[in-house]
Amino acid sequence: MQVKSTKWWLLSVLVLLLTVGCEGRSKQPAASEKAVGPDSATVSGTLRKDESGKPFTVTILPEEPRAGDDLRTLVRGAGESFVFAWERNGQPIAGQNKTRLAHQGLMHGDVVRVIVAAGTREASAQTIILNSPPEVKSVVVKTPYLCRGVDFEVEPRAVDVDGDPIEFSYGWRIDEVELYGEDGPVLTGDTFHRGQTLKLEVIPRDEEEEGEPFTQGLQFEVGNAPPRIVTSPPTSITSLDYRYQARATDADEDEITYQLTKGPEGMTIDPASGLVLWSIPADASGTFEVRIEARDAEGEGAWQEFSLEIERGGEKQ
């Protein structure tokens, strides 16, 4: 009887152990589930580890902003949900709560700060708006024709987004040779010769820094200098032999030829010297138109027109 009771006792213990094992397996979570404890949180519908104890970083780009640059924020380590607030010189910028800040209203010297909140965490960054160098937009050539003997002048047009006053420096070259000491907007007419190539570089500058050099369209060929008539005809007639020594100069030192293209009958001009002669007839009266031309070897010319008045009766004026 004792042996039989022992067997029944062992059988009961075995059944009890099997029952407990089945109950333990029935309490395990499904394979598709994950345990959610005090160190876990749900972000945007996704189970994500809470990073409240970890710092995150904020950077404002570009690293060296200027007044014409939009600012943008780079956030690292903040998860997916954060809020922005922008400040300018310590004052909140109304309505600006996005990752980007438009450049409108930003000026040289402004201190801009962005505050980024991610849940209970917060980080910030700030930057200073740097000086914007001036920019040349165009250069106006004020001399209509480039030739020796005529000063060559330019006038730059530039902008500075900070509103700073602008100064200019000028770099002149002739046939790729730099002209030292020539740093103004005017190059004197005795500096260059016909056939040479003239180049110019204009550099703008404000109180802090230089802008980019401007060279667009600033290459010129020196043309032929036309003659210039430098004398004036007599204003009165004092005898029946009219005499006028016309004289022209040529900056290129070309040989000059003179021609009388209009005048009274009998008036002549020496082609080489420009001497005008007229033996006035005794019966001449009225107004006589005269035109003298002087031309160089290149065919460029200058002219001079004037009138001679002779009153009836022989009195001359």
Q: What is the pLDDT of residues 217-244, one digit of tens each?
A: 999 999 999 999 999 998 778 788 999 9
Percent of the chain scoring above 90 in pLDDT: 70
CATH code for the domain defined by 135-221: 2.60.40.10
- Per-residue pLDDT, 53: 56
Taking only the tens place, the pLDDT of each residue in 62-109 is: 999 999 899 999 998 766 678 999 999 999 999 999 999 999 889 999
> Taking 90 as the threshold, does the pLDDT of residue 51 lie above it?
no
Per-residue model confidence (pLDDT) at position 42: 24
pTM beyond 0.75: no
Listing DSSP states for 44-111 in one string gives: TTEEEE--TTS--EEEEESSS-BTTPPEEEEEESSTT--EEEEEETTEE-TT--SSEE--TT--TT-E
The predicted-structure confidence for 161-201, as pLDDT tens digits, reads as follows: 999 999 999 999 999 999 999 999 999 999 999 999 999 99
Average pLDDT, the chain: 83
Q: Does the 228-310 domain belong in CATH 3.40.50.11780?
A: no
Give CA–CA dist 210/208, Å, rounded: 7
Tokens standing for 67? 């007044």
> pLDDT higher for 14 or 192?
192
- Let me know: does 242 contact 280? Beta carbons within 8 Å: yes
Per-residue confidence band for 25, with pLDDT thresholds at 50, 70 and 90: very low
Establish whether domains 54-128 and 228-310 are of one fold. yes
Q: Return the domain boundaries, the chain.
A: 54-128, 135-221, 228-310
Average pLDDT of 12-25? Answer: 40
Fold of 54-128: Immunoglobulin-like (2.60.40)
Q: What percent of the chain has pLDDT over 70?
A: 80
